[in-house]
Amino acid sequence: VGRRLICSVAAETLPKQAEELKMDAPKEIFLKDYKKPDYYFDTVALKFLLDEEKTFVFSKIVVFPRVEGSSSPLVLNGQDLKLIAIKVNGKELMEGEFHLGPRYLTIPSPPSCTFTLEITTEIYPQNNTSLEGLYKTSGNFCTQCEAEGFRKITFYQDRPDIMAKYTVRIEADKSRYPVLLSNGNLIDQGGLEGGKHFVVWEDPFKKPSYLFALVAGKLESRNDSFITRSGRKVSLRIWTPAQDLPKTEHAMYSLKAAMKWDEDVFGLEYDLDLFNIVAVPDFNMGAMENKSLNIFNSKLVLASPETATDADYAAILGVIGHEYFHNWTGNRVTCRDWFQLSLKEGLTVFRDQEFSSDMGSRTVKRIADVSKLRNYQFPQDSGPMAHPVRPHSYIKMDNFYTGKSLYSLLVYEKGAEVVRMYKTLLGSQGFRKGMDLYFKRHDGQAVTCEDFFAAMRDANDADFANFLLWYSQAGTPIVKVTSSYDAKAQTFSLKFSQEVPPTPGQPVKEPMFIPVAVGLLDSSGKDMPLSSLYHDGKLQSLTSNGQQVCTTVLRVTKKEEEFVFSDVPKSPVVSLLRGYSAPIRLESDLSDNDLFFLLAHDSDEFNRWEAGQVLARKLMLNLVVDFQQNKPLVLNPEFVNGIRSILLDSNLDKEFMAKAISLPGEGEIMDLMEVADPDAVHAVRTFIRKELALELKNEFLLKVKENRSSEQYEFNHHNMARRTLKSTALAYLASLNDPEFTELALQEYKAATNMTEQIAAVAAIAQNPGKTRNDALTDFYNKWQHDFLVVTKWFTLQAMSDIPGNVENVRQLLNHQAFDIRNPNKHSILPTGRPGSLIDYMVNAIPGSPP
């Protein structure tokens, strides 16, 4: 969608040879076939003459062979380029001295020692609708080079293990393009004849071509600065069209918070004197970490309380952090090849998750991330698209539109879980030691996942057994646990068995290395101190330096395995997989009573929530069967009581409370079924929500009343938590379609002073078809039709709706005057700087719907 194949100009100008034809056909690329490049690039000088009809790109590269004296051909990537001239050591190449195909430019016998290569190309950014390479968006020039967009700008060895120093000169019309940006430091600028001007940028750090960026246009900046811990002053600029500048305050706050956090937690300081962020309306993904010139989808930069929700604010914080953190994990140390994508993405997602946790509530953030994993990543990992965190092969890596992409949740989110496991195994300090060693060894290099693994291992002298299987085996491991207490011996035993289900191309799997964090609760709900553990024929003390320990990490590595805790005076209730210590499916023999007990008492807050979710999942799956067998649906009163006791527990964090009273998503339940039955799951989920609303009317009403805004909008955990709880309660009440509560929701809608509460109220009303719904949606549209990002929410809300006949409604929306299929924001993906889906966005974007 929105992509147009531009026929390669080069293809028409030169006859193709059979050899090249073969080379040019898209083919499967294998990890095992990686070869070092025969030539490296030292420095790259680029000159851009930007213009409306054609843009000239001059490049001058200092090339040196990897092995002095070798005589291999130099093969450059290039797509949709018109070659104007090519010179080696200042001398123009003649026919026969190079070959040009539609996707490659080959110099069969270049000099065998260092030489300069000069290439002039002509490109047409104004016709480039691929959102890759150099393109125009709202009248401005902008680039996107990851993964293979640089080859649409000039001929180059467009692969991440080619790291070079860039100097970039840009010339353009001064009135149309007053701002000219690229990576690094601005070292020169001035006027030119004919109303033009120029700038020169120099990036002192070596970088792969995918981190190159250029922006030219009419933009203004919010300016601020940050003093690094070693006392250097960094200028910070966020660029947007003038009218959007007021909406960049939160983005600037987020950037400064991220810079500080990376210093505090990882000792990582920013390395240049300038950091730029540009917001553009047309962008394929969430954002891009180009060296010192991050480019963002505007919805991840612009926010005001009136137009953005808490979820938008949180997403901006997380993604600004994510792109900033890439400066070290991705840019300073980059990927050897695209198979290693998770090296930078898994690690950087992990870092942004930790950052958001530290800025808000750790438990709530973990709950949100795990829900996302279960609803979206698990299905991917058990479906036809399953692939390992580091795939063995790919054909086209960035087909964002079909979902067949390396840019998948498996690389990003599962990759982050893999990084998290290192930390779980090594502890915070050990993990930090590993990170320090990783940078010490690999700064300025393009490396692999094994290099990261080795740094973690070597810095800690750790035994990681077969941990690397997490990178190569696809599928979510299923771990079964049974427990037994021996009163006489005072021992408590946990028996594990694990199995990794077959996935496409991987019918048989080996057992994985699974860290399982465990604690034991006594009958009053308190953690028991753990004294020693018997495993593999050895007795191991669990006290560390005389200190009592209440959580220990079991290292499950075999197909079947037993761990026995000794000196356990009374039969405990076990809290398994605390903090969700590994991305697995856990099946335990905990009874409903145990689960209710954990829900009420576990010191691990994540597991309190989890116990409620396990109960809800069981309940929902049972009701699905009843539904399928046409039995009447009845809600277990125990469950209602469990939810009630959460609502009445005034010690609980309000955002945690909102999460704990929300049911597992439909995707999550479907993922657990042998044969997915969307109608049944939907009916059951709706039924439970309404039953809960009916039974807990008063409690929900109280939550709405108690949590109304009394203050100005502020993005902080306390206020956000209050709004989330109110919206969740309101959605429950409005689901009843009772005039009293519909009226309540309408009042909340009218009284709302921020987008968070306003759209939550519309969403609550929109659960039920009818005039009130239509009026509210019309009113909302009329209010916000001038604001593209808010209108996007309005579309999303309706696209997500489950009212009867919604398909027709959505069909009509496709013809709506405000709908533009070419803008990826409106029909697909990616609020989070990384892959995702519209649904994903919706669930995050509109609080309280559907809880």
Catalytic residues: 323
Beta bridge partners of 848: none
- Choose one: 311-319, 346-354, 439-447, 590-598; the region binding Zn ion (CB under 5 A): 346-354
User: Which residue number, 394 or 407, has a Cβ lying nearer to ligand PHE?
Assistant: 407
Sole residue written with tokens 């499916």: 585
Classify residue 802 as exposed, middle or buried by CB count within 10 Å of its CB (0-12, 13-18, 19+). exposed
CA–CA distance, 451 with 442 (Å, rounded to integer):
8
Q: Tell me, rounded to whole angstroms, the distance of Cα 3 from its chain centroid.
A: 23
Please check whether residue 851 is in contact with residue 371, taking contact to mean a CB–CB distance below 8 angstroms: no
**Least Cβ distance, residue 321 to Zn ion (angstroms):** 11
Q: Centre a 10 Å sphere on the Cβ of residue 455 and count the other Cβ atoms it contains.
A: 23
Q: What is the DSSP letter of 665?
A: P
297 contacts which partner out of Zn ion, ligand PHE, none, CB within 5 to 8 A by kind?
none
Query: What distance in Å separates the CA atoms of residue 756 and residue 749, rounded to the nearest whole number?
Result: 10
Distance CA 344, CA 351 (A): 10
Where does this chain bind ligand PHE (CB under 6 A)? 144, 146, 284-285, 287-289, 322-323, 345, 407, 833-834
User: Binding segment for Zn ion among 338-346, 375-383, 672-680, 745-753 (CB under 5 A)?
Assistant: 338-346
- Taking the complex as a whole, the smallest distance from the CB of residue 331 to ligand PHE amounts, in Å, to 10
- Going by DSSP bridges, is the β-strand pair 514-521/532-535 parallel, antiparallel, or unpaired? unpaired
CA dist., res. 546 & res. 550, Å (int): 13
Q: How far is the CB of 210 from ligand PHE (least distance, A)?
A: 8
**Cβ closer to ligand PHE: 301 or 577?**
301
C-alpha to C-alpha distance for 175 and 165, rounded to whole angstroms: 30
Please, what is the minimum distance in Å from the beta carbon of residue 833 to Zn ion?
6
Evaluate whether 336 touches 628 at the Cβ level (below 8 Å): no
* DSSP conformation letters of 771-822: HHHHHHHHHHHHHHTT-HHHHHHHHHHHHH--STTHHHHHHHHHT-TT--TT
**CB of 211 or CB of 500, closer to Zn ion:** 211
Query: Which entry of Zn ion, ligand PHE, none binds 284, CB below 5 to 8 A by partner kind?
Result: ligand PHE
Residue 257 beta carbon to Zn ion: minimum distance, rounded to whole angstroms: 18
Rounded to the nearest whole angstrom, what is the least distance from the CB of residue 698 to ligand PHE in the complex?
A: 46
287 binds, among ligand PHE, Zn ion, none (CB under 5 to 8 A by kind): ligand PHE
Residues whose CB falls within 8 Å of the CB of residue 340, separated by 6 or more in sequence, listed in order: 390, 447, 448, 449
Beta carbon nearer to ligand PHE, 61 or 213: 213
79 binds, among Zn ion, ligand PHE, none (CB under 5 to 8 A by kind): none
State the binding partner of 183 from ligand PHE, Zn ion, none, CB within 5 to 8 A by kind: none
Please, which residue, 146 or 594, has the CB nearer to ligand PHE?
A: 146
With CB under 5 A as the contact rule, which of the stretches 24-32, 301-309, 347-355, 696-704 interacts with Zn ion? 347-355
Chain residue whose CB lies nearest ligand PHE: 285
DSSP classification of residue 405: B
**Least CB distance to ligand PHE at residue 342 (A):** 11
Residue 394 CB, nearest distance to Zn ion (Å)?
Answer: 18
What 8-state DSSP symbol labels residue 375? I
Residue 221 binds which of ligand PHE, Zn ion, none (CB < 5-8 A, kind-dependent):
none
Nearer residue to ligand PHE within complex by CB, 125 or 579: 125
Residues 6+ apart with CB under 8 A from 536: none
Torsion of CA 769, 773, 778, 780, to 10 degrees: -130
| DSSP track, 103-119 | SEEEESS--SS-EEEEE
Question: Radius of gyration (Cα) for the chain, nearest Å?
Answer: 28
Minimum distance from residue 322 beta carbon to Zn ion (Å): 6
Task: Judge whether 323 and 287 are in contact, CB under 8 Å.
Answer: yes
Q: 65 vs 833, which CB is nearer to ligand PHE? A: 833
Of ligand PHE, Zn ion, none, which one sits near residue 146, judging by CB under 5 to 8 A according to partner kind? ligand PHE
Nearest to 658 by CA among 845, 850, 841, 848: 848
Query: What distance in Å separates the CA atoms of residue 793 and residue 261, rounded to the nearest whole number?
Result: 31
Check: CB of residue 744 under 8 Å from CB of residue 704: yes
Kindly identify the residues of this chain, within the stretch 348-387, that bind Zn ion according to CB under 5 A.
Answer: 348
Q: Which is nearer to ligand PHE, 211 or 518 (CB)?
A: 211
- What is the rounded CA–CA span in Å between residue 124 and residue 55? 6
Binding partner at 374 among Zn ion, ligand PHE, none, C-beta below 5 to 8 Å by kind: none
| For Zn ion, the closer CB: 323 or 527 | 323
Identify any residues that bridge with 222 across adjacent strands, giving them in sequence order: 238
**Binding footprint of Zn ion on the chain (CB under 5 A):** 345, 348
